[in-house]
């Protein structure tokens, strides 16, 4: 009897062990098929029987992580890192979950532990830097408040897109009879439209003709809402083990007046990789999308293609796309970049977990700057330590939506809205020399050149004003002991300013004042372009005012070369040496020679040897100064004349002056000036400028006044 009992006991536990083995095998199969929501239920049942089984603890934690249920995942990862089976990647993921949960001190301690465990992994230090620089991430303060939309459900609601004065979006809204996605046990994602019925009541409708039994994802409407581009899940099973492959593909569909018709495949869809999240440039000629195709920097990158239109043999225009181009390291990292959106100003918004952010996916704005982009984190409250993505904004940059799975929402992913109102701008006024704040400075400013306002800086040299981001502001800072200075804030520029702070520097001792006069009558010349070329290579372009002046505050000492340009005036140059900033003010007065038909200009310091018409070396240098003028005015024709004093016989003076004029013309011809543009005339002593005629006793200086070379403008 005792032997029979033992046999029954052994058989019972053998059956129990076999049942557990079968249950574990089934759970592992679900896990391998990415059916995390089903697998975690099986693992948790097994874990109740074996509460200290480290393999099961790891699997449950990973399932919750992949399902996006970070709180539950954190509970299990706290146990994983205390076990013997813990891997380095578990240690790192535990730190990331602490970061997501807002436990920043514990997260930093965990990342420091990771740095000791793996000295070659740079990610832990990157995450520590991220936490320590959260304040610096708030460079772009877009909004103060966000609102969780009331149409969110307990399931995923995400990726809004503007459509017909409303929005379309992706949702797993609870609906009877719908299939569920085994990854997270939610219904498959479909595309819905939020709108209003005939009575004005809000209603949500599934967009017909697009949705299938699988996922339909992020979308965008083009062609005046007549075409929709959307992402669809390409769920396939392959291999003997039936391994599940989930790749994304892009499709388009056209509105035929009654319904959406057809699902046209994007030509770069591929079973080997994902292509999804379409977005378009303002002109519709460039498509942006996310993909993990070859040449990616990380998990997924942003790519772009350009529309190519060709006419076929039948005369019909066919549309194709250029080869995909990776957007490069300015946009892509070793992490994930996805969910692009381009607003009406050409700003490219996207989500990334690779750039410095608050945790998970953060939303970034790429502002076009010349031929490049300036990529900035949107800051809080748009971004959080959780996943934030799917950002869109209206054409006038006033309202928008985005998606987040942060705590406090309704479901796993929720859609939030925001309104961009007046922006707070901090104006700092500081001394140029000491960088200290200047108090009681009056700031006058105009809005779009008409509405005038003013304020005064406080004890910290600060004036706060609320600005409309769509308008232009022009500031003038005035203080009795400082030189006034001006600055401006152009429309939408506030979103590019760090911390919404702008500094105006004032200098009370050093400035350069340049006065430009008409050489003929000493009248001030307005509208002269004055170019200041600084020693550091920078140039400052100014225009003289009605008084013929420009005034420029000086930031550093050095030699300043000055050029003067004005239509129908001879270009001129000057220089001023600024020996010390703060040592006083500096000035320069310059005269410009007007150019017009009949104008005669004396060429100063053009000398010949006695009784000679040969061009001396010093004379050649003087004639060289004429070349830029003749080059600058290619249609100008001149008379180049030579004059002598009265000493010597008049016929000899006539002959000598003619030879000298001809020598000057020949020299200019040798320098490339067309001879048809110049006439050589010798006037001898026939046009004396003073009283020094024959028989009159004159000084050498008075005779020298009559010995001159002139050019007269004949045509201009």
CATH number for 579? 2.60.40.10
Task: Tell me if residue 23 falls in helix, strand or coil.
Answer: helix
Residue 261 lies in a domain: yes
Expressed in percent and rounded to 5, the helix, strand and coil fractions of the chain are 25, 35, 40
What average pLDDT does the structure give for the chain? 86
The predicted structure's pLDDT at residue 341: 98
Q: Which residue has the tokens 């929720």?
A: 414
Determine the pLDDT at residue 609: 65
Which CB contacts under 8 angstroms, 24+ apart, belong to 72-80? 73/97, 74/98, 74/100, 74/101, 80/54
In the chain, the number of structural domains is 5
Q: What percent of the chain has pLDDT over 70?
A: 91
The answer to whether residue 145 is domain-embedded is no
Residue 358 lies in a domain: yes
Q: Are residues 22 and 161 in the same domain?
A: no
The domain that holds 434 is classified in CATH as 2.60.40
Q: Which of residues 400, 419, 438 is at a domain's end?
A: 419
Last residue within a domain, chosen from 441, 465, 500: 500
pLDDT tens digits for range 366-422: 988 777 888 889 988 999 999 999 999 998 888 999 999 999 898 889 999 999 989
Domain identity same for 625 and 585: no
Residue 580: exposure state from Cβ atoms within 10 A (0-12, 13-18, ≥19): exposed
Sheet holding 414-419, edge to edge: 146-148, 414-419, 399-404, 388-393
| Angle at the Cα of 395 from the Cα atoms of 391 and 397, rounded to 5 degrees | 65
Pairing assessment for the beta strands 166-171 and 216-222 based on DSSP bridges:
unpaired
pLDDT attached to residue 9: 47
Least confident of 269-273, 562-566, 577-581, 705-709: 577-581
Please provide the distance, in angstroms rounded to a whole number, between the alpha carbons at the two ends of the chain. 132
Within-domain flag for 377: yes
580 pLDDT band, cuts 50/70/90, is low
Say whether both 409 and 433 belong to one domain: no
* Residue 181 in this model has a pLDDT that exceeds 60: no
The answer to whether residue 142 sits within a structural domain is no
Asked if residues 431 and 506 have their Cβ atoms less than 8 Å apart, the reply is yes
Q: Which of 398, 419, 440 corresponds to the end of one domain?
A: 419
Pairing of strands 501-506, 423-431: parallel
Q: Is the residue at 506 inside a domain?
A: no
Residue 679 covered by a domain: yes
Domain that holds residue 569: 511-592
- Look at residue 359 in the predicted model and tell me its pLDDT: 84
What is the spatial distance between Cα 549 and Cα 524, in angstroms, rounded to a whole number?
A: 8
Asked if 303 and 355 sit in the same domain, the reply is yes
Question: In which residue are the tokens 């001023």 written?
Answer: 576
pLDDT digits (tens, 9 = 90+) for 35-67: 888 888 889 888 898 899 999 999 999 998 988
Q: Name the residue with higher pLDDT: 133 or 301.
A: 301
Same domain as 464, residue 520: no
| H helix or E strand, kind and range, residue 95 | helix 88-100
The whole-number pLDDT of residue 508 equals: 67
User: What does the pLDDT average to over 120-141?
Assistant: 83
Q: Within this chain, do residues 351 and 396 fall inside the same structural domain, yes or no? A: yes
CATH number at residue 617: 3.30.1330.60
Residues 475 and 331 reside in one and the same domain: no
User: Where residue 9 sits, what CATH number does that domain have?
Assistant: 1.25.40.10
Q: Has residue 144 been placed in a domain?
A: no
402 with 435, same domain: the answer is no
Report yes or no: 209 and 258 within 8 Å, Cβ to Cβ: no
- Residue 40 shares a structural domain with residue 56: yes
Residue 157: which H helix or E strand, with range?
A: strand 157-163
Closest CA to 362 of 371, 370, 353, 349: 353
At residue 322 the predicted structure's pLDDT band, cuts being 50, 70 and 90, is very high
What's 305-346 look like in SS3? EEEEEEECCCCCEEEEECCCEECCCCCCCCCEEEEEEECCCC
Q: Angle at CA 93, nearest 5°, toward 87 and 97?
A: 145
Element (H, E) at 245: strand 243-255
* Average pLDDT, integer, range 279-286: 95
**CATH number of the domain to which 398 belongs:** 2.120.10
Query: How much is the average pLDDT of 696-715?
Result: 88
The DSSP call for residue 189 is P
Q: What is the pLDDT of residue 240?
A: 40
At 317 the pLDDT is 83
So what's the pLDDT on residue 8?
47
**Distance between CA atoms of residues 257 and 250, nearest Å:** 23
141-145, 250-254, 443-447: the lowest-pLDDT one: 141-145
Are 349 and 453 part of one and the same domain? no
Q: Identify the pLDDT of residue 17.
A: 54
Q: What is the pLDDT of residue 138?
A: 73
pTM above 0.75, yes or no: no
Side-chain-facing half-sphere of 225: CA atoms under 13 Å: 11
Do residues 282 and 355 share a domain?
yes
CA 158 vs. chain centroid, Å, equals 26
Residue 488 has pLDDT above 70, yes or no: yes
Backbone angles phi, psi at 570, to 5 degrees: -70, 125
Is the pLDDT at 114 greater than 90? The verdict is yes
Q: Do residues 653 and 562 share a domain?
A: no
């Amino acid at each position: 009897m005792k032997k029979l009992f033992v046999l029954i006991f052994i058989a019972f536990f053998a059956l129990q062990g076999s049942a557990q083995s079968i249950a574990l095998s089934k759970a592992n199969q679900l896990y391998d098929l990415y059916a995390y929501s089903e697998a975690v239920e099986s693992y948790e049942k097994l874990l109740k029987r074996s509460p200290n089984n480290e393999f099961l603890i790891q699997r449950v934690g990973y399932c919750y992580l992949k399902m996006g249920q970070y709180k539950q995942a954190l509970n299990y990862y706290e146990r994983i890192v205390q076990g013997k089976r813990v891997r380095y990647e578990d240690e790192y993921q535990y730190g990331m979950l602490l970061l997501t949960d807002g436990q920043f001190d514990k997260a930093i301690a965990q990342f420091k532990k990771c740095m000791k465990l793996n000295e070659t992994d740079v990610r832990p230090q990157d995450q520590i830097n991220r936490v320590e620089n959260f304040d610096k991430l708030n460079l772009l303060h877009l909004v103060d408040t966000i609102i969780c939309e009331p149409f969110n459900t307990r399931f995923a609601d995400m990726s809004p897109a503007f459509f017909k004065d409303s929005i379309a979006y992706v949702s797993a809204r609870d609906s009877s009879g719908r299939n569920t996605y085994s990854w997270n046990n939610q219904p498959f994602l479909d595309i819905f439209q939020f709108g209003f019925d005939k009575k004005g009541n809000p209603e949500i409708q599934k967009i017909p003709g697009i949705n299938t039994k699988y996922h339909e994802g992020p979308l965008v409407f083009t062609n005046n809402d007549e075409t929709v581009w959307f992402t669809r899940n390409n769920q396939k099973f392959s291999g003997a083990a039936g391994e599940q492959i989930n790749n994304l593909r892009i499709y388009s569909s056209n509105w035929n007046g009654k319904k959406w018709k057809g699902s046209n495949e994007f030509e770069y869809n591929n079973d080997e990789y994902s292509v999804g999240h379409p977005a378009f440039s303002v002109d519709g000629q460039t498509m942006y999308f996310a993909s993990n195709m070859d040449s990616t920097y990380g998990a997924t990158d942003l790519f772009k293609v350009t529309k190519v239109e060709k006419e076929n043999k039948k005369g019909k225009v066919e549309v194709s796309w250029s080869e995909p181009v990776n957007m490069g390291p300015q946009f892509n990292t070793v992490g994930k970049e996805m969910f692009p959106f381009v607003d009406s100003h050409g700003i490219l918004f996207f989500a990334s977990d690779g750039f410095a952010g608050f945790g998970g996916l953060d939303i970034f704005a790429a502002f076009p700057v010349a031929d490049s982009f300036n990529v900035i984190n949107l800051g809080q409250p748009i971004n959080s330590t959780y996943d934030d993505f799917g950002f869109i904004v209206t054409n006038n940059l006033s309202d928008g939506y985005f998606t987040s799975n942060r705590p406090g929402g309704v479901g796993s992913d929720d859609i939030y809205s925001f309104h961009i109102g007046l922006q707070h701008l901090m104006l700092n006024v500081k001394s140029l020399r000491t960088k200290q704040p200047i108090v009681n400075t009056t700031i006058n400013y105009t809005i779009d050149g008409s509405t005038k306002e003013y304020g005064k800086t406080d004890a910290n040299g600060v004036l706060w004003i609320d600005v409309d981001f769509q308008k232009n502001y022009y500031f003038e800072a005035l203080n009795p002991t400082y030189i006034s200075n001006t600055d401006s804030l152009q429309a939408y520029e506030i979103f590019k300013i760090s911390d919404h702070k702008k500094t105006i520097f004032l200098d009370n001792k050093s400035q350069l004042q340049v006065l430009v006069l008409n050489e003929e009558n000493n009248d001030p010349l307005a509208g002269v372009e004055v170019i200041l070329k600084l020693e550091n290579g920078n140039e400052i372009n100014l225009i003289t005012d009605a008084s013929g002046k420009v005034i420029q505050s000086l930031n550093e000492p050095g030699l300043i070369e000055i050029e003067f340009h004005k239509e129908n005036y001879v270009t001129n140059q000057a220089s001023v040496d600024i020996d010390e900033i703060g040592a006083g003010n500096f000035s320069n007065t310059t005269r410009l020679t007007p150019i017009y038909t009949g104008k005669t200009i004396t060429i100063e310091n053009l000398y010949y040897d006695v009784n000679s018409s040969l061009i001396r070396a010093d004379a050649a240098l003087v004639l060289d100064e004429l070349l830029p003028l003749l080059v600058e005015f290619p249609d100008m024709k001149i008379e180049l004349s030579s004059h002598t004093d009265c000493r010597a016989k008049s016929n000899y003076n006539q002959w000598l002056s003619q030879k000298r004029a001809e020598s000057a013309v020949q020299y200019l011809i040798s320098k490339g000036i067309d001879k048809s543009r110049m006439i050589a005339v010798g006037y001898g002593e026939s046009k004396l400028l003073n009283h020094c005629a024959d028989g009159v006793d004159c000084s050498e200086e008075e005779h020298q006044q009559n010995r001159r070379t002139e050019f007269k403008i004949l045509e201009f």
